[in-house]
Each structure stands twice: as C-alpha cells, then as structure tokens.
Structure 1
C-alpha cells in the first residue's frame, strides 16, 4: 500500500513481480472395490477433446511451449457440434488478445478454429523493466480527477494488436463528481512504460433526457419471515437494492446497499422524479427480468454467464449521476438518479438490456473495449437492448430502433441512420476505430437495422425511418429476430476479443450459414447489409 494525494489514493501491487510458470496437476481417481467412478459429462469430454485438438493442430493455433489453456465457454449445437472457447496464458501470465475457439464434431473431430489477432503469444522475457509501483503512480496521474482512486497493475502478455509483448494492465477505480463508478484500464509496455492502450473499465450508455417508466406491471418478489416483501426475484435470483446515494466505490460487493422491502407488496407511485425510493426499483426489477427472460427463452441462456447466477441491481447510485453501468467487478448493475432536471433514473427497458448485455459479451467473446472491437461491444449491447424492448412489447416503452428513447428526448442513438446524433458513423471507413466506441458502434447498429428492416423510407409501429446505404443498393430485411439469432451465434461461437468489423462480417456470415444455409435468403441479406455499410 502506498498512499498519496489529498484524495486518499491507494496503490495495490502484487507481492511478486514475475508470475511463476503454471503447474498443471493431473488428478488420478482410484475406485475402491465395488465403488463406481462417475463418468465425465459431455461438457467435460468436449473440453478435453478440444484441448487435445489444440495441441494436435498447434501450428494452426499458434500454440507452443510455455502456454496453457483456460476454458471460458462451451456451446454445443443441437446436432452435437461443439464450440469450446479458451483463454490462453504464457508462463502463467494471462494473454489479452490470445483467446481462441475450437470447432469440432460431435465425435470430437477437429473442423475449424477462430482465433484472436495474435497467432503466437510468446514473449522473450517475463520480467518487467518497469516496477509496478511506478506503473501504478503513472496511471493515477492520468486519472487525477477521480476521487478515492485505487490503482492495481497486473502483469500480462498484450497481444491485442497482433504483436505480443510483456505489459502492465493497470486498472484504476474510483468515483466521479456525482459519485458514479469510474474505471479506466491503462496498458503500458512493461519494458519502457510507454502507453499502449487506454479504455473504460465499465461499459455505459450516456443518458441525456428523462426516463419514462414501464407503467403498472407485475413483478416477482419474495415474502420474508418478518412478513415483509422484498425485491428479490425467486425465479431468476435478481436482487434490487437502494444504494442510498452512496458513491459507487462503496458498492463493490452484492452485500452492499439496502434491500428494497414493502409491507403490502405494492411498490412505488409511478411518478417521474419520484420521492418514493421504490419507484425506480420497480422499473429496474421488471426490466432486468425481461432481459433475463429474453436471453433464456430465445437462446436458452441461463443468466449473464450462462451459469444461472443472477446479478444485483443498485438504484439511486451517487448524486445526480445521469447514467447507468454494468460492472464485472461486482457482477452488478448500477443506475443513477438522473440530472435532477430533465432526466430521471436510468432504468428504462433498452438501457437495462444494453447494460446487462455487456456482461454477456464479457462472458463470451470478451470484445476489448477500444477500437473497432469496442464499437462492436457497444453495438452488441444496443442490438440486444433493442431486442429486449421488442420481446417485452410494453405499451409504455414501445419497441423501436431508437435506443434509449424513453430516457432521452427524443433518443440517444438510432439505428436506421446513426449519424443523425451528430457523432456516430453510418459506414465503415479507415480510422473508424479512433472514434469513441459509442460512435463507432453506429456501423454495427446500421447493419442490424438494414438486415432486419431493409433500406429506404418506412414507418414501423408508428415511427418513421429512412435508412440509406453507402453503395446506393437496396436491402430487403429478414426481420430482427433472425438477425439477432445470427448475431448471438456469431458472438458466442466465432467472435474473439480482437474481432473488428471485417471479422464481424465473417463471423455473422458463418453464423447465418450455420443457421439457415449458405444459399439462403438470410445469408445473402447479411452479406448485402454489410456491403451497404461498406464492410467487405
């Protein structure tokens, strides 16, 4: 611990600079006479076979000495085809940008691979030339407006840009001026301290207007032994809490905050800028349930990590914080009260769906939150936030292609022509990755709209749209449900941490071919929509 500055900055460093090589222990089961040894599950068999396939095709995967695999996700298709996603380590150090997916048959025969940009991840040295203390101090200087900041450097192999090098990945966490969570990840070369990358640790949607609530709805609660009801969803496990306007720094654990309770199981007053603390909780609780149900009923996904574990939702975070965020650190959603003027609590339906989708992306492709992969990360959340809205079909928050239209008059982003917000990109161009990820996401959002609804003028559920194409072509849509299924399969099976827009085109075409066939209308529409946004 090293303390510095009047803002009580803290630096947490590892006790050892160099990580030891990973030791792989092999367990041997010895059965007693008459006892039975449980057979490995289909999932365990698939993982073991995939590991063997990586080693058998080491040249194709770039897998060599000093490397190890850590399973991240397993997808098994109805026909038994298996897709096993791994992260890699090198001499015990995590490799960022070294992830890969093994595609194999039901019987384990190797079929194909998906790999992040780096082919090889080996580095010559695993001893840094720059100390963690120096690295942490430098990171704090770059985030001097963050209160109560902590700086935690972690030694990694950085391979996001395709050139593996030893690096410090420093996470700076603290609170902003409104008590909102602020997080920054700063990556520096461990040999000389030069910055390689910098991006947000949390993912957020930027609200500007006032939130409309979801009306009079049914919510799932739990009756406690004291006779009170609690905003604890007995079906999905989601818990909704009042943060009591404390800074996000105090909400790093699900046990923080105060569980919202009520004696008669009738919650909130339905008013905008309500003084009733439960009103925002109603929206957050219901919209989280809709998001959970959408992913489960559409894709069979049980929660954000597909492990059945539910998230904690904190409402009333900070002081007039006009935003919402997903945090992997506490596995929770955090929502602010709005600006106190035009914008109320950030708990509208597509915003909640958007933020929780960041958790799904983190648990699957892990799209790095910078450059084009960061734009795809944001687009993925916009897409599925929109699809949750279409799934819920709520009469107060009607489905459309206007993202966060309930909390921001008239909308925060729109999909038919993203540039109408004044900052987002309609089409791919060189240097797109230099834009803010919320703006480079426009290309992915535009693709989704064109593939779903087609180009040109039209009115859908009372909203007028006019979607252009870069090449002047006419695109005929196949409906957003099909496009969402294609995108989800691409995300969970083919995309990796460094996928860019050209990689997303390849991934979605593979997914469309898997689901509908390479000669299908769906496949051709996906191809046409990417061309229409200048991704070839």
Structure 2
C-alpha cells in the first residue's frame, strides 16, 4: 500500500538570487493569479532554457513567494494536448525579471511516429502487472513520458481493484505506446509504511476545536483550521475507495462535547488523536513556514478514522495509515494487536501523511525511483519535525517514525538514522540510483529508498551524534567515514529542505539533484559558503549522495 529509480543529472538552470532570503510562503489568491500571469509572459521569452518545443504549452498550478519579492511559479507542460510526465518546471522571477528555471527534462525533442498500441492494449499490459483482481480502469490517457533519457509516447493507466503484496488497490502505470513495455509503476495510496500497523488514546486530555450544531450535537470539525473534519470509515477498506469516498462516511459526533474516554472502547478516542495530529501539523506549517493548509489556501483536510487495509494475504488489518492524492484525503487504521500495532494515530503519522499532501501540491514528486524515495523521506522529515513542534510530554520528539503505535516497547516503523536495520531499506545511496520499474516488486519501494534522505536529514540536523539507546557507533551513522559531521539544528535543516521542496524540486528530482537544490536553498537562506551551506554538502556525502 504505497504510491510507488537510475536517473540522470538534473538540468537545473539557476541564476544567483540574493542570499539570506526568508522562507517562501504561499501567496494570497489575487497575488497568485498575478504572479502566474506575469510568469507565463516571461516563459515565452525563455523557451530555450525550458527545453521547450514550439507546441509545448505551460499551465501554472502553484505559486510560492519570498518576502523580498521573488516568486516561484510551478508549471505543468503539455505537448499537442498531452501531459508531459516529468516536464514540469519551476520558474523563479523577481520584479518582473526572469531569474531561474528548475526542471529535469533533458531534451527539446518530442516523440515521432504514431502509437502502435491502443488505449485498450495499454490497459491490458497494465492489468498484467497488477496481479490482483482489476475492478475498474480509473483513467487511461495518452501522455508524453519524459522521465527517461528521451521523451516517448505512452499511456498513463490508473487501475483500481484488489490489493496485493506488491501494491494497494489504486496503481498508476506508464505503458510505452510503441513497445507495450511498462516504463513506470506508482502506487497512489501513500501510506505510513506499516504492513502487517478530547480524551485521546495517546496524548491525554486535550482542548480541541469542534463545531456545535445544536445543544446536543457537536461535530469533530476544526473551525479554526480550515474546517478540517474527522469522519468515520466504519471499518471499510482503503481498497474500496469508491464506497468510502462516495458513501461519504459520517463526521464523528458527540452529544456533550466531551470526546472519548482515553481508551479504544469509545470510538471517538482515536478521533481526538487524529484531530490533534492534524491540528499540530497545520500549526507547524503555518507558524514555521507560513503555509496555511496543504495547498496554502486555508482549507482543511478530510480524515477518516476506523479504516481497514488489506494485507498481502488478503486479510483485513487496521495496521496502517494512508494519504490519497486523488481525493486529498487521509485514512487511519485502528491497529492490529496480532501484528504488533495499536491504532495508527500518532502525531508523526499525521505529520507524515499530511506532508504527502504538501508534496502533492508543490513538487508533486513521483512515487517511484529516486523521486519516490524523496517523497517518502519528505514525509518522514516533516512528520518528525511536527512531533518535535508539538512537544507533547506523552510523545517526546525523536527521529523514529511511528514508535507510539507499536505494541512492543522499543519498536518503530522506521529509524531515520539507521533505516537499513529493517533488512530492506537503504541507508546509503547506491551507484546508479533507484529504478522506477522495480517498485512493483517492492525492491525499490519508496518506504525503503527513503532511508537515504532520512539519513541525510538526521546528519544535517544532529550531525554524526549517536542517538541515545540506539547502540550504534558514529561510524555506523555515516556512509563515508566522516564522523566529524556537525549538525545545524532541526529548525535550519527543516527550512532548507522545505525551501527546496516547495521552490526547486520537480516531479522527477533525483537524489543527486536534491543535493544540488538543497545547497542552492541553503545558499539563499544562509549564504554561499556559510556553515549551513557546508553542512548540507557534508550531510549528503554522509549518505553517499555526491
């Protein structure tokens, strides 16, 4: 249940922008529209920089603005009406002057010839890789697939059906329109990675915002944070997306505005934990990065409590949580004692899942290859920072993901500083990177490849300092023997990564490209050659990203 890598050097064409730039923030609606219009005009004069064909059309979808006036506008690209997958670009300008373009597209060449496969043929090829029962072809469209060496005609096929051990029930495939080869596999249900995981359950008695409908009816809707609501999935599975979303499970309600009883015997207890985690994540992004809501538009998110998930054997479990970008919705399971999980409603889980939403609204990192690892790593990074930000005594901040939801003391879903301890993940970036087409077999599952980004961030924030109780040595924290790496602190590390994610990363960013772009972010925030800038380089090298 994941939204599921050797990619070339990034084509990053960047001009210097003044150092010590404050963190970017989402622009107000009127300013967004004006910035998009102005940036569109600037693109027409810089098409060579964008590797643009004469028939390329750019559509603006997001804006971030610096307080010094610089604007970062994200564009999707179409060619002859077809989406160009991997053709997205971030254009940076200041005071009406074009300053930078960040993109991964390597060629202005476009496909020649006609498609040999029909859309139905492509669906059949995708279905042969799905393995489980296919219930519906959710969508099927012609695209230009440009994540590889040269753009090719392809079909983007999204299938829904039975979950298997390789994927969830909602998977996207890119099928070469000439050869029928499956080029890329991406799972669209992005989970916390646990396969087999008021009066709150975990965080004690909390003061929470609710919505009063009458003297005896209160809804679990946060009127102070964009009207985000917690609904009841009533035990339905995420694989049954259509029945959950279109049935529109009811909002959790209460008669006296006293929610839960600190145990699972009251269904509202875990709803409080979810409500609290969503609120803490909202506050972190707003107060630290100036981002109000996942999209920066002030709108809250819909969350579902009491969701179930299917295991690789087809059994039903509550040991997971998930974000689904297609519907901008979050799902939380009630745990599974037999598999060692309590309800999956910890703060870092909420921060992790909501960050998938932030990533979807900004960089839109693909869920395979290096980009997939960066996608999951971003969620772990900011889920961790949300946990530190919340500063709840029942769940002190750490670099362990989901430790609150494990029944066995000392266990977690992932240790960011040593993710390879699970026997599946990578701590160090391998030569050649990660292959998008290996995601289906779980070999390059983004939950495993995220270990590279997670190790980088730990080293950047804390340095080669052994976490208490880990039993590690400094040499085991680095991939290159550099045990003298010094951290710059979580606040600076988080601001550097956020700036890179929201103003520089694009859908196909690789780990080596992320190194370059976070270095640019550090230079803009703290100055080229600053201790922070130097620390970014050493931390990436410590994860073998050079």
Relative to the length of structure 2, the TM-score reads 0.85
Alignment correspondent of 2:253: 261
Query: 1:278: which partner in 2?
Result: 268
1:394 equivalent in structure 2: 392
Distance 1:451 1:221, change over 3 A: same
Question: 1:9: which partner in 2?
Answer: none
Pairwise CA distance, 1:147: 6.4
Instruction: Give secondary structure in 2 for the equivalent of 1:101.
Output: strand
Cα pair distance change 1:208/1:42, threshold 3 Å: closer
Query: For each residue in 1:168-226, what CA deviation from the matched residue of structure 2 results, as whole angstroms up to 9, or x when unmatched?
Result: 11111234389x96211111011232211112112111226979722222221111036
**1:299–1:264 Cα change, 3 Å:** same
**Matched residue pairs, number?**
490
For the residues of structure 2 that align with 1:114 and 1:359, how far apart are their CA atoms? 21
Q: Structure 1, unaligned stretches of length 5 or more?
A: 1-39
**RMSD of aligned C-alpha atoms?**
2.3
Looking at structure 2, the residues matched to 534 and 130 of structure 1 have their Cα atoms a distance apart, in angstroms, of 41
Question: Relative to structure 2, which stretch is displaced further, 116-125 or 307-316?
Answer: 116-125
Specify whether residues 181 and 421 from structure 1 end up closer, same or farther in structure 2 by C-alpha distance, changes over 3 A only.
Answer: closer
C-alpha contact (below 8 Å) 1:252/1:329 kept by paired residues = no
Q: 1:44 to 1:63 in 2, by over 3 A?
A: same
1:204 is the counterpart of 2:191:
yes
**Residues 256 and 437 (structure 1), Cα distance of their counterparts in 2 relative to 1, 3 Å cut:** same
Deviations 1:312-347 (A, max 9, x none): 101111342321110112211011222243312211
Q: 1:484 aligns with which of 490, 494, 501?
A: 494
Does residue 182 of structure 1 match 2:182? Answer: no
C-alpha deviations, 1:134-158, integer Å up to 9, x for none? 2223323332424644442121111
> Does 276-285 or 48-57 show the bigger shift?
48-57
Q: Say whether the 8 Å CA contact 2:137–2:157 is kept in structure 1.
A: no
Work out which of the two has the higher radius of gyration on C-alpha atoms and give 1 or 2. Answer: 1
> SS where residue 416 of structure 1 aligns?
coil
1:417-456 equivalent positions in 2, closer than 5 A:
417-434=418-435, 435-456=444-465
Unaligned runs of 5+ in 2: 1-28, 309-315, 436-443
Decide whether the 8 Å contact of 2:233 with 2:244 is kept in 1: no
Aligned pair 1:327/2:321, yes or no? Answer: no
Q: Distance in 2 between matches of 1:184 and 1:262?
A: 37
The list of structure 1 runs, each at least 4 consecutive aligned residues, that deviate by more than 4 angstroms after superposition, is 208-212, 462-467
Q: How far apart are the structure 2 equivalents of 1:394 and 1:42?
A: 37
Aligned to 2:145: 158
Q: What's the offset of the Cα at 1:383?
A: 0.1
Match of 1:303 among 268, 284, 293: 293
1:98, 1:118 within 8 Å by CA — same for their partners in 2?
no
- 1:45 corresponds, among 34, 37, 50, to 34
**SS, match of residue 258 in structure 1:** coil
TM-score where L is the length of structure 1: 0.86
Which is bigger in relative contact order (C-alpha 8 A, separation at least 6)? 2
- Distance in 2, matches of 1:189 and 1:283, equals 45
Mapping 1:18-417, distance limit 5 Å: 41-105=30-94, 107-120=95-108, 122-125=110-113, 128-146=115-133, 148-176=135-163, 182-207=169-194, 213-225=202-214, 227-236=216-225, 237-248=227-238, 249=240, 250-251=242-243, 253=245, 256-271=248-263, 274-318=264-308, 319-341=316-338, 342-408=340-406, 409=408, 410-417=411-418
